[in-house]
Amino acid sequence: MAFIPLAEHYNLMPMPDNWVIENALKQLDKNKTNTVYAVHLLGQSLVNNKSTQRTIEILSNKNISHARLCFEITETSAIKNLENATQFLKQLQELGCFTALDDFCSCLSSFAYLRETCLLTT
């Protein structure tokens, strides 16, 4: 419970997020089943263009089924970083990855807003 708040305070969360992505890809490469791996990204990774571009580069250079990856972000971080989140999630979807919103509330205005920005598809 102490690590993440400190890493967020010092703007270091993209580093552990990148570590998780790289290790998830290693596990995905070893696991030849159809298991889908979910990777939760924190909000700081969404505002760090260097981090998002690194993720796209890593995924683009891996010969894996991108449909076996689901990237999750919280609704709050999507709304706070809407432009970056939209661009990043679209890039992930173009590669064939799944995307998901975590901690999504039942607020219909929030749902409509995210749907209009193409973060949600029907």
pLDDT score of 68 more than 90: yes
Tally of domains within the chain: 1
- What pLDDT score was predicted for residue 50? 87
Give the CATH number, domain containing residue 109.
3.20.20.450
- What pLDDT score was predicted for residue 45? 82
pTM over 0.95: no
Structure confidence by residue, pLDDT tens digits, 31-60: 889 999 999 988 778 877 888 898 999 899
Q: Residue 72: in which H helix or E strand, if any?
A: strand 69-74
Angstrom distance (rounded) from CA 49 to CA 54: 8
Q: What is the C-alpha end-to-end distance of the chain, expressed in Å?
A: 36
- What pLDDT score was predicted for residue 3? 83
Does any domain span residue 8? yes
Does any domain span residue 121? no
Closest to 74 measured CA to CA, from 110, 112, 49: 110
Structure confidence by residue, pLDDT tens digits, 97-122: 999 887 766 454 555 655 665 555 54
Does any domain span residue 77? yes
